[in-house]
């Protein structure tokens, strides 16, 4: 079968619900939309922008600097830091938001202890912590690993050649970082930031709790409060367009700079440290981990011990299996499609495939609920069309929605990995008479294997945290860990939700550690 045709078919399959959503928007009455436009959208958009910029700012600080030190500097415990810096990714943003607001609240441990023991100091901790700036910081705490990973791979792959040259030119580590490494790592940095941006745009639970109205809140406001699903669709389409523009701009600017990377072949080119700089590095690397993982997990574990006697363990196992099954099946499908796309793109150099693989990433920007909504509308349309009823609440539909939603997470690491390897590999392989399949099996699969693991694990961790799609599309009596966590959390029973969130976090953390080991083997020889 023609591969281009096949990629097109897969893309259409993935995009069908959205295309139908776009189509259904045409000719709708604009009343509600205009109303939103006149009253709310400006404020919502500004809030979104502010939240986004702050989160990106915090993520840059939390992600890039440790990545730089871990990649290029020799210090004791480096591989340990490399693992722990990754772990906050296992924590869903709504869990970190609920955990910290509970921890910092009037009845939480910090305020209570100070109030009861040091009443004179109480005025210093008695604040309203539900602020947009704090929300941005909390989100950055669990999202920066996207950036960290992307930079880590890039910084390591850039290897010592660039660093050596800049050393020979007499540049300091600081100068090398800003003048050389940052500019040539921009593709990776942007791919990390893109994922963070999408996550922020998509966030709903935490944002709502903090009283921050974002663009996504606008979608839900028109859908839930104004009962106007059309306006919600129009807003979703707007969001899609905004993200596409973002995306195209980034693509366009990065396509002007193409760097071919060489694997790190000289490890001794790394920087060494003295005692003072080591201490600074330790602090810099510990900070994101302690706030983003250690403290929330300790708090959650403490809550687990408090509530352990009311936990229904058979149910817990059941929920864990559901989550595990959904996440692994969906991630496998995503990774398979993503590899296929990237590989076809690489060997065929086809523009069509290139655009298709970019377009299917865009769905990541849409809030999960919108994906679910578009699927529901689309399936209803299909049902009418073919006259056979399609079960909405089935695991297959759920997986379909996950694949749509998380395609970008799978594609992103694979793209940077595939793009990095010089095309001479393909030419040499072809000269040796290899078929495309053999070329893939013998060359691209092995050299991209770490990116494949990264893609799988990132998807897995994301899906296991997923909420709105699961809530809307799941079958009867079908719960996942994330759903149960959320149900307790919004009912203001944080303690009871803790065992479920702990399993999500542990499952994610174990996988991420595993992943780290693989990446280190594949990428960083040190």
Partner 1 sequence: MKKLFPLFALFILACSDNNSEQIVNMYSQRHYDVDQLQYDNFEKTTGIKVNVIKANADELIQRMKNEGENSPADLFITVDVGKLWQASDMDLLQKYNDEGLTEGITQSLTDPNGFWVPVTYRSRILVYSNERVQESDLSTYEDLANEKWKGRLLVRSSSNSYNQALLSSLVANLGEEVTQNWTEAVVSNFARDPKGNDRDQVKAIAAGQGDVAIVNSYYIGLLLSSENEEEVNAGKSISVFFPNQEEGQRGSHINVSGVALAKNAPNKSNALKLIEYLTSDEAQEIYVNNTYEYSVKPNIEPNNIVKEWGTFRKDPLDLNMLGSKRSDAIRIFDAGGWK
Binding site for partner 1 (CB under 8 A): 35, 39-40, 101, 105-108, 111-112, 126, 128, 130, 208-211, 213, 217, 220-221, 223-227, 229, 306, 325, 329, 332-333, 336, 369, 372-373, 376-377, 379-380, 383, 389, 392-396, 471-472, 474-478, 487, 490-492, 495
Helix residue spans in 290-394 (DSSP H):
295-307, 313-348, 351-362, 368-386
Q: Which is nearer to partner 1, 23 or 80 (CB)?
A: 23
* Bridge partners, 271 (sequence order): 73
3-state secondary structure of 2: coil
**With contact defined as beta carbons under 8 Å apart, do 21 and 374 qualify?**
yes
Q: Which is nearer to partner 1, 265 or 491 (CB)?
A: 491
**With contact defined as beta carbons under 8 Å apart, do 281 and 74 qualify?**
no
Q: Which is nearer to partner 1, 286 or 382 (CB)?
A: 382
Q: Which is nearer to partner 1, 250 or 487 (CB)?
A: 487
Q: How far apart are the first and last CA of the chain?
A: 44
Q: Which is nearer to partner 1, 39 or 279 (CB)?
A: 39
What is the closest distance, in whole angstroms, from the C-beta atom of residue 229 to partner 1 in the complex? 7
Nearest to 239 by CA among 366, 377, 370: 366
What is the closest distance, in whole angstroms, from the C-beta atom of residue 314 to partner 1 in the complex? 14
Contacts of 523 (CB under 8 A, 6+ apart): 152, 153, 156, 157, 264, 450
Q: What is the signed CA dihedral for 219, 224, 228, 231, rounded to 10 degrees?
A: 0
Per-residue burial over 51-82, b if 16 or more Cβ lie within 10 Å, else e, is bbebbbebbbbbbbbbbbbbbbbebeebeebb
Angle between helix 449-465 and helix 481-490 axes, rounded to 10 deg: 40
SS (H, E, C) 223-264: HHHCCCHHHHHHHHHHHHHHHHHHHHHHHHHHHCCCCCCCCC
What is the closest distance, in whole angstroms, from the C-beta atom of residue 463 to partner 1 in the complex? 15
Q: Which is nearer to partner 1, 228 or 419 (CB)?
A: 228
**With contact defined as beta carbons under 8 Å apart, do 440 and 486 qualify?**
no
Q: Which is nearer to partner 1, 129 or 247 (CB)?
A: 129
Q: Which is nearer to partner 1, 346 or 474 (CB)?
A: 474
Q: Which is nearer to partner 1, 97 or 281 (CB)?
A: 97
What is the closest distance, in whole angstroms, from the C-beta atom of residue 337 to partner 1 in the complex? 10
What is the closest distance, in whole angstroms, from the C-beta atom of residue 392 to partner 1 in the complex? 6
What is the closest distance, in whole angstroms, from the C-beta atom of residue 372 to partner 1 in the complex? 8
What is the closest distance, in whole angstroms, from the C-beta atom of residue 102 to partner 1 in the complex? 10
Q: Which is nearer to partner 1, 101 or 185 (CB)?
A: 101
Could you tell me the two tokens for 341?
């796309």
What is the closest distance, in whole angstroms, from the C-beta atom of residue 315 to partner 1 in the complex? 10
What is the closest distance, in whole angstroms, from the C-beta atom of residue 128 to partner 1 in the complex? 6
Distance of CA 404 to the CA centre of its chain: 14
What is the closest distance, in whole angstroms, from the C-beta atom of residue 281 to partner 1 in the complex? 38
Supply angle C-alpha 42, 44, 45, rounded to 5. Answer: 65
């Amino acid at each position: 079968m023609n591969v281009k045709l096949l990629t097109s078919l897969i893309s259409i399959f993935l995009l069908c619900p959205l295309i139908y959503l776009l189509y259904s928007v045409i000719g709708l009455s604009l009343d509600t939309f205009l109303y939103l436009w006149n009253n709310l959208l400006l404020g919502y958009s500004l809030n979104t922008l502010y939240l986004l910029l702050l989160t990106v700012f915090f993520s840059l600080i939390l992600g890039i600097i440790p990545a730089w030190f871990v990649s290029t500097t020799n210090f004791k415990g480096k591989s340990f830091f490399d693992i722990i810096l990754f772990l906050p990714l296992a924590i869903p943003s709504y869990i970190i938001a609920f955990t910290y607001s509970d921890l910092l609240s009037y009845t939480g441990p910090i305020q209570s202890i100070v109030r009861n023991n040091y009443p004179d100091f109480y005025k210093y901790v008695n604040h309203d912590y539900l602020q947009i700036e704090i929300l941005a910081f909390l989100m950055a705490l669990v999202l920066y690993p996207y950036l960290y990973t992307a930079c880590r791979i890039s910084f390591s792959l850039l290897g010592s050649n660039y660093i050596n040259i800049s050393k020979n030119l007499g540049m300091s580590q600081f100068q090398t970082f800003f003048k050389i490494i940052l500019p040539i790592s921009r593709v990776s940095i942007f791919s990390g930031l893109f994922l963070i941006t999408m996550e922020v745009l998509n966030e709903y639970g935490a944002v709502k709790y903090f009283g921050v109205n974002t663009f996504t809140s606008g979608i839900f406001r028109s859908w839930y409060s104004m009962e106007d699903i059309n306006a919600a669709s129009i807003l979703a389409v707007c969001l899609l367009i905004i993200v596409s523009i973002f995306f195209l701009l980034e693509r366009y600017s990065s396509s002007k700079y193409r760097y071919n990377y060489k694997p790190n072949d000289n490890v001794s080119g790394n920087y060494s440290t003295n005692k003072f700089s080591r201490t600074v590095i330790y602090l810099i690397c510990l900070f994101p981990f302690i706030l983003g993982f250690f403290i929330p997990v300790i708090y959650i574990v403490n809550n687990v011990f408090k509530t352990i006697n009311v936990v229904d363990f058979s149910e817990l196992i059941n929920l864990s299996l559901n989550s595990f099954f959904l996440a692994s099946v969906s991630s496998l499908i995503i990774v398979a499609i993503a590899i296929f796309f990237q590989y076809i793109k690489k060997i065929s150099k086809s523009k069509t495939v290139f655009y298709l693989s970019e377009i299917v990433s865009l769905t990541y920007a849409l809030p999960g609920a919108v994906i679910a909504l578009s699927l529901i509308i689309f399936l209803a349309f299909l049902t009418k069309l073919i006259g056979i009823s399609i079960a909405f609440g089935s695991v297959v539909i759920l997986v379909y929605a996950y694949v749509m939603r998380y395609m970008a997470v799978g594609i992103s690491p694979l793209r940077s990995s595939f793009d990095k390897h010089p095309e001479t590999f393909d030419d040499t392989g072809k000269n040796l008479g290899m078929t495309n399949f053999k070329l893939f099996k013998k060359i691209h699969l092995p050299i991209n294997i770490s990116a494949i693991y990264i893609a799988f694990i990132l998807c897995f961790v994301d899906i296991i945290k997923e909420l709105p799609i699961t809530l809307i599309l799941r079958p009867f009596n079908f719960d996942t860990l994330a759903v149960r966590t959320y149900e307790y959390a919004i009912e203001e029973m944080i303690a009871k939700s803790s065992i479920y969130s702990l399993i999500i976090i542990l499952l994610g953390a174990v996988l991420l550690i595993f992943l780290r080991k693989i990446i280190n083997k594949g990428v960083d020889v040190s």
